[in-house]
Amino acid sequence: MSRDLSYKAVMERRGEIMKRALGIEYDEFILTKVAFDYEGMMRKAGYSLEEVREIQRETGVGNTPLLELKNITRLVRQISPKGYGARIVIKDEAANPSGSFKDRRASVSVYHAAKLGYQGVIAATSGNYGAAVASQAAMRNLRCIVVQEVFDSRQMGQPEIIEKSRKCEAYGAEVVRLSVGPELFYLALVLLEETGFFNASLYSPFGISGVETLGYELVQQIRERYGKDPAYIVVTHAGGGNVTGTARGVLQAGARDSRIIGASVDLSGLHMASDIDFNRKSFTTGHTGFGVPFATWPDRADVPKNAARPMRYLDRYVTVTQGEVFYVTEALAQLEGLERGPAGNTSLAAAIPLARELPEDEIVVVQETEYTGAGKHPQAQLNFARANGIVVKRGDPRENVPGKTIVIPEHFSQLSVVEMDLDRMRRSYIRNCIERSGATEVNEQELKFLAEETRETEAYVAGIIREIGGVKINAT
């Protein structure tokens, strides 16, 4: 019998396809319409930190160098009030086998797939994750398919993504390159069904537990070298896995006072599913187009329950502009001798102004770098932006308009962050959770779940539910 491959039919089979392709019984963790047992899922379906470290040792993932950015720290102190300007250190995740922290995320999924006897793995991603899965699959002798969103209807591709396609093919993966649209996930489902391969989702407990070692390691390294915990850990935020995994690792290392600060490139106003906007952006990841929707509704992902839940961990969430990230990418290369990819430097662009808030004896961690190369480079990305009608100029970064203008700062002191309203995002998350579940009343257990999800009190959650209206609260 041939399968019905229409969009609708495949999306309706989504649950059963995912169950076979992940081997996780998500139903086990569902508590009510609204609530599920997040920690139970992470414990039972994922791996412990020790197991993950062992899995990653087998394929050379992790234990990346921690580098102090001495010249950048000097410049920060020059533009800060006397006694201010925290030390900035960077975790050089580009030293992982495929050149980014995504190797951590891929390592556990690919290990698990091999252990369970799957013949191959599939990942739907246009980011560094594709190369990471391809590299890990090569090491464990599995086949690999990466599904990417690469080009618009003019067949014009983002140079950053074309480079990522190349890298996946270099590791022996099949790369399925698509035009713009969220149906990337539809095709991934079709391929999972056709091949019986494992779904190396970014958002499974395997993916997230793989990142926990990053948070754990960086705390250990900083304690060893400086004898204290970092004040701020700045994490580039997109789909939420980097924030979630890192923060969980930091907590497991016992660094309870370190603040987790998410940073995204501001792409407000650009529609992520637009065939026109697609090539009007210079960043294909680490931006608000993923950062906001995935934080306020994580379960939009390609798994029934997303293990990446950034609202549980974010102390602050800030944005920077594309031009600021290109500027600091130059600064990192020219002052610190580290030529690294621009998207991963989003957190560096945020860390510089954030370090000005803190006394000199504090430490700010930039938690990742990524490899750079043709296409994935400020020069390539700015040439591409110009070719797509974007104005590129030096000036005040506040004049930046996503999709229209990229402003490269004229001076180091112009770097700044814009604070996102986390309270508004919490409200939006609660609203999404209530509306999508169709719940007409919430009980004690659900209030508790929503409070954990938003790092707030049950009274706070109840207050917001009352504001939304139409939902009865059944709790004492």
Residue selected from 21, 55, 131, 145 as contacting another protein according to rule CB under 8 A: 145
Report if residue 290 touches another protein, rule: CB under 8 A: no
Size of the site for another protein (CB under 8 A): 65
Residue selected from 32, 48, 78, 457 as contacting another protein according to rule CB under 8 A: 78
Report if residue 326 touches another protein, rule: CB under 8 A: yes
Q: Which residue has the tokens 């494992």?
A: 198
Stretch that binds another protein, among 52-60, 231-239, 250-258, 323-331 (CB under 8 A): 323-331
Pick the closer one to another protein by CB: 262 or 378.
378
Residues 372-401 that bind another protein (CB under 8 A): 374-375, 377-380, 382-384, 392-394
Q: How far is the CB of 72 from another protein (least distance, A)?
A: 9
What the block records as the tokens of 387 is 């070719």
Residues 22-61 that bind another protein (CB under 8 A): none
Q: Which residues pair with 121 in a beta bridge?
A: 144, 198
Residue selected from 14, 53, 143, 223 as contacting another protein according to rule CB under 8 A: 143
Element (H, E) at 465: helix 458-468
Q: Distance (Å, rounded) from C-alpha 198 to C-alpha 140?
A: 13
Q: Distance (Å, rounded) from C-alpha 263 to C-alpha 349?
A: 9
Pick the closer one to another protein by CB: 78 or 457.
78
| DSSP letter, residue 449 | H
Q: How far is the CB of 53 from another protein (least distance, A)?
A: 30
Pick the closer one to another protein by CB: 87 or 426.
87
Residues 398-417 that bind another protein (CB under 8 A): 408, 411-412
Pick the closer one to another protein by CB: 392 or 451.
392
What the block records as the tokens of 96 is 């992982």
Report if residue 159 touches another protein, rule: CB under 8 A: yes
Q: How far is the CB of 333 from another protein (least distance, A)?
A: 7
C-alpha 234 chain-centroid distance: 12
Report if residue 153 touches another protein, rule: CB under 8 A: yes
Q: Which residue has the tokens 């797939």?
A: 113
Which has the closest alpha carbon to 42: 63, 18, 56, 24?
A: 24
Q: Distance (Å, rounded) from C-alpha 396 to C-alpha 160?
A: 26
Ramachandran sector of residue 309 (left: φ over 0; alpha: ψ -120 to 50; beta: rest): beta
Q: Distance (Å, rounded) from C-alpha 168 to C-alpha 136?
A: 11
What the block records as the tokens of 170 is 């270099």
Pick the closer one to another protein by CB: 169 or 315.
169
Using CA atoms, how far residue 1 sits from 4, 12, in Å, is 9, 18
Q: Which residue has the tokens 């599920």?
A: 36
Pick the closer one to another protein by CB: 394 or 398.
394
Pick the closer one to another protein by CB: 394 or 424.
394
Using CA atoms, how far residue 210 sits from 97, 112, 259, 330, 471, in Å, is 15, 11, 21, 30, 38
Q: Distance (Å, rounded) from C-alpha 110 to C-alpha 113?
A: 5
- Helix, strand, or coil here: 157? strand
Q: How far is the CB of 97 from another protein (least distance, A)?
A: 19
Report if residue 267 touches another protein, rule: CB under 8 A: no
Query: Where on the chain is the footprint of another protein (CB under 8 A)?
Result: 6-7, 71, 74-75, 77-78, 120, 143-145, 150-151, 153, 155, 157, 159, 162-163, 165-166, 169, 172-183, 186-187, 194-195, 271, 273-276, 326-327, 330-331, 333-335, 374-375, 377-380, 382-384, 392-394, 408, 411-412
